[in-house]
Amino acid sequence: MTAPFSGTHIRLDIHPVHPSAVTAILTGPRHRAAHALLTTHGFESTDQHTLVLTRIDHEEPYWANQAAQALAADGFTTETSPRLRAAIDEEWTWANYPMPWCTREEIREVSNEAQKLYDDIRHGRLVIHAHADDGQTTVAVGTYRDSGQSVHLYGEDHLRQVTGTFDSPAQALDSFECLYGDTLRPGPAPMTDTERRTAEARSTISTPAAQPEPQTETVPAYAADPGDHDAILEQFLTDHGDWEKWRTFSDDTTHAIHASQTLRIERVHEAHPRETAWTIAAYQTPVSDRIWHLTATGATPAPVLQTLLNRLTEEDAWETAIGGPITEKSVTAATRPLTDAGWVHTVDGRWIRWENRQGDAGVQFDAFAAQNPNTTLATWTLWAGPGIDRPIWAIHASPYTPAALLASFAEDLAHGTGARQPSPSAQRLRDQFTTTRPSFAPAFPRTQPIPRR
C-alpha cells in the first residue's frame, strides 16, 4: 500500500540571511498537508511552498529537528541540509545565564515558555497595557483575550516570564502602577534587537533558492572571527622549529615550549568561547618561578591571537621576557596607540580605562593589582563586546607583562582589521552577550598612584 504522503518532500536548511533561523521548502503532491503540519511546530508561511522557523531563544535547529522527526513519522520525506545538521549537533549554552542551576533541558523549557509569551503578544492573544523599566530589565502588564486573566511579565526575549496573575486588568494595572509608577509607559515596550531580527527573518526570504555563498566582511581586528585556533597553533609550530609540543594524556590540552624553556604555551582545545583557552607564561630561567603570564579566551579574534604568537618569535622577545615593574612610563608606552587613536580615557578609582568611541572594545589597567605582583587579579584586561563585564572575548595579563607586547595588542585594537563571516554559532555568540543582564564590578578603595621611574 502506498504511503499517504509518498512523493512529498521537505527540505530544512539554515535561513540564507539570518543564520539562526530555519527554512522549510516543500515540494510534491501533498505539500499543503506538510505546510499545515509544519505550522503546528512553529513554522510560519512566506508562500505556499516556503516556511520559516525563527525564535527569540535561537533554538531553531533543535525545534526544526523535532519537527523533522514528527513529519518523518507521519510518512513525509524529510531532508536536513549539512549546515543545519551541524547546527543541530552543536553543543552550546547561554553565557551568564541568570539561572545557572538549570540543566540544558531546563533552560530550553524556560526559553520555550518565553517563546510562547512572545508569540501570544505578537499574535494579539496577550494584550500589553503598559511597560516599565525596573532598573535591570523590562517589565510589563497585560491581559489574555480569551480567558480575561491578567499577568505581570518580567524580562525580555528568552528570559521573559510571568511573575504574577490577576483576575482583572484593573487589579493588575493597579499593582503594576504601585510597583513601577515612576517608569511606567503605556502600551508594549519597543521591540528588542532579537525581536527585530526574528521579524526580519520572517520577511526577508523571498525564494527557495540555494543558499548564497557566505560573504566575508572586513571589520576591526577586535570584532573579527576567532578562526581555527588549533590550526593557528599548528601553523605556528610548523613555522618555528625551536618550539616543541606535546598533548596531555586526555588529549584536551596542547603544551608548547621554546628551546630555551623560558617561554611556554598552553592551549585548551575544548574551552568555552568565554573561558580561558590560552595561557602564555615567561620564566627568567627554566627552573625559576613564573615572571609574567597572560590568558586569552576561546573567542579571541584570529588577528589578535596572531599578534600574540608573532611577538613570541621576535628578536627582542628574550629581552622583554622578564618584563619589569610597572611605571607610569610603561603604562603610557603600552597604551600610546589607543591615545593616538582618540580612545576615551577615564579614571575610576583603581581602574584606568581606554575605550573606543563605539564602546564595544577597551583596555583596563588595575593600579591595585599592579602594585601587588603576587595577586591573582589581572593587571591588564583587553576586551571586546557590550562591556567589560560581559565581553565576547578577553585577554588578561599579569603585572610584569612586557609593555611592548601590550602596545602591539593596543595597535591591533586601535588600527588592526580582520575578517568576519556570518555563521549560526557566531551569531548566537554575539546575541547572548546582548541579552543577558549586566553585572557590576565591586567597589574597592582608591589606591596609590603609579610610581614614577
Query: Which residues are registered as beta bridge partners of 80?
Result: 12
296 contacts: CB under 8 Å, gap ≥ 6: 276, 277, 278, 280, 304, 305, 308, 393, 394, 395
Q: Rounded CA gap, 275 and 295, in Å? A: 10
Contact criterion met (CB below 8 Å) for 120 and 65 = no
At residue 318 the predicted structure's pLDDT band, cuts being 50, 70 and 90, is: very low
Q: With a cut of 90, say whether residue 356 has pLDDT above it.
A: yes
Report the pLDDT value the prediction gives residue 436, as an integer from 0 to 100.
40
Measured CA distances, 209 to 33, 86, 378, 425 (Å): 22, 20, 50, 23
Q: Cα(first)–Cα(last) distance of the chain, in Å?
A: 91
Contact criterion met (CB below 8 Å) for 360 and 384 = yes
Report the pLDDT value the prediction gives residue 430, as an integer from 0 to 100.
52
Residue from 370, 229, 214 nearest 299 by CA: 229
- The dihedral built from the CA positions of residue 384, 390, 393 and 395, taken in this order, carries a sign that is positive
Q: Rounded CA gap, 294 and 400, in Å? A: 10
Q: With a cut of 60, say whether residue 117 has pLDDT above it.
A: yes
Q: With a cut of 90, say whether residue 408 has pLDDT above it.
A: yes
165 contacts: CB under 8 Å, gap ≥ 6: 149, 150, 151, 152
Residue with cell 520555550: 112
How many whole angstroms from its chain centre is CA 14? 19
Measured CA distances, 26 to 3, 261, 364 (Å): 17, 61, 53
Q: With a cut of 70, say whether residue 142 has pLDDT above it.
A: yes
How many other CB atoms sit within 10 Å of the CB of residue 106? 11
pLDDT in tens, 275-301: 999 999 998 888 888 888 999 999 999
Report the pLDDT value the prediction gives residue 103, as an integer from 0 to 100.
85
Q: Rounded mean pLDDT of the chain?
A: 84
Report the pLDDT value the prediction gives residue 136, as an integer from 0 to 100.
86
Measured CA distances, 95 to 228, 273, 379, 436 (Å): 21, 9, 24, 8
How many other CB atoms sit within 10 Å of the CB of residue 214? 10
Report the pLDDT value the prediction gives residue 207, as an integer from 0 to 100.
44
Q: Rounded CA gap, 14 and 54, in Å? A: 10
Report the pLDDT value the prediction gives residue 375, as an integer from 0 to 100.
78
